[in-house]
Amino acid sequence: MNISIVGTGTMGRLVRDLAVQNSDIGKVWNVEPALGETLWDTNPDVVIDFSHPNALKMICDFAKSKKGKVPVIFATTGYSKEEEQLIEELSKTVPVLKSSNYSYGINALKRILGLATILLESSSDIEIIEKHHNQKIDSPSGTANLLADTIDPKQKKKRVFGRVGEHKRKDEIGIHSVRGGTIFGEHQVIFAMKDEVIEIKHTAFSKTIFAKGAIEAAIWIKDKNPGYYTIDDVFY
């Protein structure tokens, strides 16, 4: 299997380095749209995107030109609603897998939160705190939004991103972002009840976990039919 990796930032390079060591993978291309490089100069069986929303049109156009034979793994975050719709539209003719986080631990955390929410939602104030390195541009993180959607999939609760001023807490989920140093990624969900608190936390000590999950997803999706897949389909 040959793969093309879109993006030559930290994650793009890490995926490339792991891919060339994987016996299931043959050729590996690493293209940087910001430098004018495109997927048309490569011949992949699967595309892995760790770049920027600006590259979305190029990726979609390339995947469509391959008539559904080249699946796409989307690992970029920070898409607008319109861009999310473009990805959903692409999945009608191309196998697409999209996730805000490719770590096994975070996806296990999602399942744990599903049960915790059933048990605690009605009696708890729920807060999410996420921490990342000082070079991360988007906030809150895609994973924080993913966890909020896991807790409240129909978005019945108001999302409050940080707090300022004088406002009494209502039926909401607070989401708070910290940016500093070289923190790989930390996500904490707090269920605060009367006289007791339950905290569930995931800490990433290396970005390798995200690259490994993306490669596993690429191998899994290679022969799948067009459709919109999630990382749950890979891990579970």
Active site residues: 132, 136
What backbone torsions phi and psi does residue 233 show, to the nearest 5 degrees? -65, -30
DSSP code of 34? G
C-beta separation of 5 from 50 below 8 A: yes
Sign of CA dihedral 56, 3, 230, 116: negative
Tokens 């809150």 belong to residue:
140
Q: State how far the Cα of 37 lies from the Cα of 59, in Å rounded to an integer.
A: 12
Neighbour-count burial for 146-173, b at 16+ CB within 10 Å, e otherwise: bbbebbbeeeebebeeeeeeeeeeeebb
- CA 98 remoteness from chain centre: 7
